[in-house]
Amino acid sequence: MVTADAWSFRCSACGRCCNSSPQLSVPELFRHQHIFVGSLAIRRVRRLQPGERHFGITADAGDCAASSELAERLLHRTEESTRGGYDFLLTMQGFDSPSSTRCPALGEARGCTIHRDRKPATCSAVPLEALAPDRLQRLVLAGRRSSGDLPGSECIVSGERRGFSVVTRGAAVTDAAMREALARRRADLTAEKRWWGDAVFGILRKELFDDAAAAGRIPFDGFLALAAAPVLMVLAEVSESCRGRCLEYLDAQAGLIEARIAGAELRSGHAGPEIRQLHAFLRTGDALRRALRASPARRGTAHAAGIEAWLGLDLTGNPQPPSPRREENGEEPTYGLQ
Ligand code: SF4
Ligand code: SF4
């Protein structure tokens, strides 16, 4: 397929691409603590190599430099991963069972119930990909068009078409809202890397990232899903307010996970891998809650004020109210990934 000069997009609000939980930042996850079971999701991301060909475009030195600059900012790397030509993405994500076919925030009428209440930045950036530089977004669109990644009919078309927004023209992202959405997701990933990603990468490095066999099991497509505990451990160390907010989140998650386990048991009648993983999340969360409650008061690190503001804690240290429980959350009349 030859990449077109322009690519256009229209979302007809069919909700069909809302078929799994999205990636979220920690503040987004805290906001929606009654909707998404949070997990630490890890994936390997291939580095673009000069001369690689995708959809009729041959990657040049400028493409590779732009990809590398973005990876440096958003991803994690080791000497071994550099030799292997990949980096690691650490992000938070809602945990889904393999059998799940819908995002838990998708309403019965296929509308996004959190569309106007801090919808995750990853959803706002669809159909673009924050990990690819702007100059390569046309390849992202060509790839999604060819793979049927967005199952709605004709969401992405090459060239211009009536009723569609031109998203990219040549190597530029021309749609202002899309540019803003990409910038928001990249800013989120930068903050995540700074406030907990580097520390969690260090905690898991010996066991996971420096061990060739363990690192080799981290998928390129899909994610290795782990309990959110290492992330919360790092954030809870920051200050008393952060510890309190992490405990509140863990309490909310315990109730949500118990409800998910009950629902999964009702559906399948036996303890499959989904139920076992949810039980593991529950046990890890319980152990962390006990440890956090028993540990001495935090004095507050040098970055405490910045991290508290990022988490949405107000100046008195009180958390901002999270979104209501899923069943109390009215469905918005707008849809999926608009
Ligand atoms: S747009 Fe809403 S319903 Fe769709 S994946 Fe994102 S959060 Fe879920
Ligand atoms: S972007 Fe998603 S919700 Fe919109 S038309 Fe395509 S598949 Fe449907």
Query: What percent of the chain is modeled with pLDDT above 90?
Result: 71
In this predicted structure, what is the pLDDT of residue 335? Answer: 27
Tokens standing for residue 318:
């009180």
What letter would DSSP give residue 323?
A: P
Which residue's CA is the nearest one to ligand 1's atom 2?
112
Distance from Cα 127 to the centre of ligand 2, integer Å: 9
Pick the residue with more confidence: 149 or 77?
A: 77
How, if at all, do strands 172-173 and 165-169 pair?
A: antiparallel
pLDDT tens-place string over residues 274-323: 889 999 999 999 999 999 999 988 887 889 999 999 999 965 545 555 65
Does ligand 2 come within 6 angstroms of the Cβ of 94? no
Q: Across-strand partners of 87?
A: 45
7-24: average pLDDT = 92
In this predicted structure, what is the pLDDT of residue 314? Answer: 67
In this predicted structure, what is the pLDDT of residue 109? Answer: 87
In this predicted structure, what is the pLDDT of residue 320? Answer: 54
Tell me, what amino acid is at 12?
A: S
Q: What is the pTM of this model?
A: 0.90
Tokens standing for residue 65:
């430099």
In this predicted structure, what is the pLDDT of residue 331? Answer: 43
Does ligand 1 come within 6 angstroms of the Cβ of 121? no
Place 68 in a pLDDT band, splitting at 50, 70 and 90: very high
In this predicted structure, what is the pLDDT of residue 168? Answer: 97
68-96: average pLDDT = 96
Pick the residue with more confidence: 4 or 288?
A: 288
Alpha carbons 214 and 228: distance in angstroms, whole number: 19
Residue 179 has pLDDT above 60, yes or no: yes
pLDDT tens-place string over residues 223-253: 999 999 999 999 999 999 999 999 999 999 9
Q: Which residue has the tokens 């969360």?
A: 285
pLDDT tens-place string over residues 123-132: 999 999 999 9
In this predicted structure, what is the pLDDT of residue 316? Answer: 53
Does ligand 2 come within 6 angstroms of the Cβ of 150? yes
Does ligand 2 come within 6 angstroms of the Cβ of 121? no
139-153: average pLDDT = 82
Pocket test for ligand 1, best of 16, 96, 114 (most atoms within 8 A of CB): 114
What does the radius of gyration of the chain's CA atoms come to, in whole angstroms? 20
Pick the residue with more confidence: 16 or 100?
A: 16
Pocket test for ligand 1, best of 18, 108, 184 (most atoms within 8 A of CB): 18
Alpha carbons 286 and 279: distance in angstroms, whole number: 10
Going from the C-alpha of 267 to that of each of 51, 225, 264, 274, 282, the distances in angstroms are 49, 22, 5, 12, 19
Does ligand 1 come within 6 angstroms of the Cβ of 181? no
The contacts of residue 199 (CB under 8 Å, 6+ apart) are 234
Does ligand 1 come within 6 angstroms of the Cβ of 150? no
Place 332 in a pLDDT band, splitting at 50, 70 and 90: very low
Distance from Cα 281 to the centre of ligand 2, integer Å: 32
Task: Report the Cα–Cα distance between both ends of the chain, in Å, rounded.
Answer: 27
Mapped onto helix, strand or coil, the DSSP state of residue 88 is: strand
Q: Which residue has the tokens 């400028």?
A: 62
256-281: average pLDDT = 85
Place 194 in a pLDDT band, splitting at 50, 70 and 90: very high
Place 330 in a pLDDT band, splitting at 50, 70 and 90: very low
Mean pLDDT of the chain: 89
* Nearest CA-CA partner of 337 in 109, 119, 143: 119
Distance from Cα 160 to the centre of ligand 2, integer Å: 18
In this predicted structure, what is the pLDDT of residue 56? Answer: 74
